[in-house]
Amino acid sequence: MSRIAKLVIVVAMFPLVVAAAVVVDSLRIGDQEQPPCRACAQTSNDVPHVTVCELLNNRQKYTGKLVRVAAGFEHDSGQLFLRDGACTMHTGFAKERQSCTGAWRRLQVICGVDGWYDSAAPISVLGSISKIPDGNYYAGEEGFTIDCLEQVRIEPDFNQRMRFARARLFKGLL
């Protein structure tokens, strides 16, 4: 085999090696730090736990007040929601979004946040009712602003990991 043929083979293999590295990296999900974590440490343990229904039914009471919510998080074409039973609220992330170690990556893998696919996951967050910041689908509307993602309460399965890997591989093409 000539030197040119070997060089062509090596050059042709490079994108495959890069793609394989992206897939392998995407399949790794680090351990998730248990709340209360360092990122959310600015909050004390006396932050009230409320439901999405309580937030919706008592907007004035909770506007601007930090609360902890455990609910379903839904990502649908860039639109973000918190859902608890029959109650649904628009949500978005604060400009200075924080998260416990491992939680943000887990949310990306499961729900496709910052990606092109949609899904849902049970989460625990700290935040408040306020105008949703710029950079979110519902920017400027009143909703729940997530200041800190404490926990994603499920593990991503193999299909979710592969979907995340495909999204990372083809992100520039979409």
124 domain residue, yes or no: yes
CATH code for the domain in which residue 129 is found? 2.40.50.140
Confidence band of 27 (pLDDT split at 50, 70, 90):
low
Q: Taking the CA atoms of 59, 63, 69 and 74 in sequence, report the sign of the dihedral they define.
A: positive
Residue 174 has pLDDT above 50, yes or no: no
Compute the mean pLDDT over every residue in the chain, rounded to the nearest whole number: 85
- Find out whether 53 and 94 touch, Cβ atoms under 8 Å: no
Please list the residues that pair with 50 across neighbouring strands: 69
- Supply the pLDDT for residue 43: 61
**pTM of the predicted model as reported, rounded to 2 decimal places:** 0.81
CA distances, 27 to each of 100, 108, 156 (Å): 19, 12, 10
Helix axes 158-170, 103-111, angle to 10 degrees: 90
Note whether residue 14 is domain-resident: no
* Residue 162 belongs to a domain: no
Buried b (16+ CB within 10 A) or exposed e, 45-65: eeeeebbbebbbeeeeebeee
Q: What is the pLDDT of residues 101-144, one digit of tens each?
A: 889 989 999 998 877 788 999 999 999 999 999 999 999 999 99
Peptide bond into 36 cis (omega under 30): yes
Q: What angle do CA 157, 40, 146 make, to 5 degrees?
A: 70
Question: Three-class SS of residue 167?
Answer: helix
Residue 118 maps to a domain: yes
- Domain membership of residue 74 (yes or no) is yes
Kindly report which listed range (17-21, 66-70, 149-153) carries the lowest average pLDDT score.
17-21
Rounded (5°) CA angle 84-50-39? 100
Domain hosting 60: range is 32-156
User: In this predicted structure, what is the pLDDT of residue 33?
Assistant: 74
What is the tally of structural domains in the chain? 1
Does residue 100 sit within a domain?
A: yes
Model confidence at 170: pLDDT above 70? yes
Amino acid in position 155: E
Residue 163 located in a structural domain: no
